[in-house]
Amino acid sequence: MSKLRFNITMSLDGFVAGPNQSEQDPLGVGGMELHQWIFPLEAWRRSHGEEGGEVNASTAVVEEWTENVGATIMGRNMFGGGPGPWREPAWNGWWGEEPPFRHPVFVLTHHAREPLELEATTFFFVTDGIESALGQARAAAGDEDVSIGGGADVIRQYLAAGLVDEFELAVVPLLLGAGARLLDDLGGTAVEQVRVVEAPGVAHLKYRVSAAA
């Protein structure tokens, strides 16, 4: 059965980006530090076209994130290109000519745009809301899962709507103090612990969302 799921790196105090996010600093102040655990990994480097790197307990977790995923949903902020109407020259995402997704990506936006076809990945721009994006993503994914790429706002909307089946948090030993908090105002969402993995500099916590409590 096809699932809606996400994985995200979160500071110990619950932030997935630092304060003062901007076009120049998309992860906010201190936000880049969140991801220090992943950059040395061979699994990460390989998916970004680089060789070498470490293999440790995070490897299998990171590989699982992209296994059996047939479509991705993301917010306009994560796709980038600034807020408001699309400008010229066209912004084609952060990922270059060959984005690592290699499946259809549905970008939630208020501003219509023709699909953007890059090497092995096509971005579709969805203007009629999260349920529509999910329906289109499920149709594109077939039997495979749909992954929510982020950001925090989009993930929170899907969680609040009770549409998420499963998620995994990479909890890092960092106290950011401010920024975008992932799990805000989600009281009443019932979750079950699926598994916990200890890895260097990160704790991987996986949960299943239960039927509404």
195 near a second copy, judged by CB under 8 A: yes
Pairing of strands 121-126, 116-118: antiparallel
Shortest Cβ 95–a second copy spacing (Å) = 30
> Which of 73/202 has CB closer to a second copy?
202
Cα 45 off chain centre by: 18
Q: At residue 198, what is the residue type?
A: E
Q: How many C-beta atoms surround the C-beta of residue 197 within 10 A?
A: 15
Residues 67-96 touching a second copy, rule: CB under 8 A, are: none
Binding mask 152-191 for a second copy (x = CB under 8 A): -----------------x-xxxxxxxx----xxxxxxxxx
**151: nearest Cα among 51, 24, 3, 28:** 28
- Find the binder of a second copy among 3, 14, 47, 80 (CB under 8 A): 14
Residues 85-144 touching a second copy, rule: CB under 8 A, are: none
24 near a second copy, judged by CB under 8 A: no
- Find the binder of a second copy among 13, 23, 119, 128 (CB under 8 A): 13
CA–CA separation, 31 vs 11, rounded Å?
A: 9
197 near a second copy, judged by CB under 8 A: yes
Q: Burial, 85: exposed, middle or buried (Cβ in 10 Å; 0-12, 13-18, 19+)?
A: exposed
Question: How many residues line the site for a second copy (CB under 8 A)?
Answer: 34
> Which of 122/189 has CB closer to a second copy?
189
The single residue listed with the structure tokens 């929170």 is 156
What angle do helix axes 130-141 and 152-160 make, rounded to 10 degrees?
A: 90
- Find the binder of a second copy among 4, 207, 211, 212 (CB under 8 A): 207
Strands (E), 151-201: 166-172, 180-181, 191-199
Contact residues toward a second copy (CB under 8 A) are 12-14, 30, 169, 171-178, 183-193, 195-199, 201-203, 205, 207
